[in-house]
Amino acid sequence: MAMQFYASPEQIMRDRSEYARKGIARGRSVVVLTYAGGVLFVAENISTTLHKVSEIYDRIGFAAVGRYNEFENLRSAGVRMADLRGYSYDRRDVTGRALASAYSQTLGSIFSEQPGKPYEVEICVAEVGTSEAKDELYRLPYDGSVQEEPGFMAMGGQAEAISNVIKAQHREGLTLKEALKLALAAIGSVGGDNNGSRTIAANQLEVAILDRSRPGRKFRRLTGAALTAVMPGAEAQAAEAKADGKPDGKADAKSDDNGDGKEAAQ
């Protein structure tokens, strides 16, 4: 007969936290930062159809790391919630704050619900404002806590190391090119050989912006020519790849967290 052992609530919560944190750390990173023209999302993602960054509403974007099925679930819920609110009130009444609070409640109750496992996700809700000072970034980890971040944030494997790189260089008034360069330097600062840095090619990136100057829906993906135009040193890289006679950097491009996420990024 199975015996029921006593486990203190602290122990249970610690175990659950550890479980969720491990799951999240396995995935590749996502960086979100504000720049003069809006909010920039940069994710390491080789899939062009399974997104880590998406549009929620006119001014609101969503980025996530962790288990695909879980954050995809939250993403659709966010789109539904935002569309319902915009439809029943007005498009201007859909705010990132309300969305973040709904996500926080959902994640919080999933985290503490027994039986069941906590979500292995960390998400970011970003809202672009009329000026850089009015942009809002909310970090929502697996346990339902919510933090408003000051202009930049990193999630996923080795988020702290990445975050430190951005912290040192992030300032108000960056151009899109500068912001992308900073994001790439930060993501590339970890995961190289012998814990060194590495360069990431455009085809391994998912990049999107919330463009402050656009009327209506501000979310826009940067792909293809639009992306290479703002990539740092894009011309030099392309020339190098041609000389080598192979497409740039396919070697370490493996699927990460679209599924069980067994690959360790550390």
Partner 1 sequence: MAADFGTSGRLPLAYTAAGNSSFTEFLSQVAPELLPGRRNLPQGGAAKDLAPHATTIVAITFSGGVVMAGDRRATMGNLIASRDIEKVHPADPYSLVGIAGTAGVGIELIKLFQVELQHYEKIEGAMLSLDGKANRLATMIRGNLGAAMQGLVVVPLFAGFDLDADDPVKAGRIWSFDVTGGLYEETGYDAIGSGSLFAKSSLKKTYRPGLDADAAARLAVEALYDAADDDTATGGPDIIRKIFPVVMTATAEGTSRYSEPETAAMAEAILAARTERPTP
Residues in contact with partner 1 by the rule CB under 8 A: 49, 51, 54-56, 73-74, 76-77, 79-81, 83-88, 98-99, 102, 105-106, 108-110, 113, 217
Q: For residue 177, what are its two tokens?
A: 């090119």
Q: Which residues pair with 35 in a beta bridge?
A: 38
Length of the chain: 266
CB of 64 to partner 1, least distance (A): 14
Which residues, in sequence order, are CB contacts of 187 under 8 Å at separation 6+? 29, 31, 42, 44, 162, 200
- How far CA 157 is from CA of 22, 43, 75, 191, in Å, comes to 9, 12, 21, 9
CB of 99 to partner 1, least distance (A): 8
Q: Are 166 and 31 in contact (CB under 8 A)?
A: yes
CB of 160 to partner 1, least distance (A): 29
Q: Which is nearer to partner 1, 109 or 255 (CB)?
A: 109
Q: Which is nearer to partner 1, 226 or 239 (CB)?
A: 226
Q: Which is nearer to partner 1, 82 or 162 (CB)?
A: 82
Q: Which is nearer to partner 1, 62 or 152 (CB)?
A: 62
CB of 74 to partner 1, least distance (A): 8
Q: Which is nearer to partner 1, 106 or 228 (CB)?
A: 106
Phi then psi dihedrals of residue 126, to 5 deg: -120, 135
CB of 145 to partner 1, least distance (A): 14
Rounded Cα distance, 55 and 210, in Å: 9
Q: Are 257 and 26 in contact (CB under 8 A)?
A: yes
CB of 105 to partner 1, least distance (A): 5
Rounded Cα distance, 155 and 153, in Å: 7
Q: Which is nearer to partner 1, 154 or 222 (CB)?
A: 222
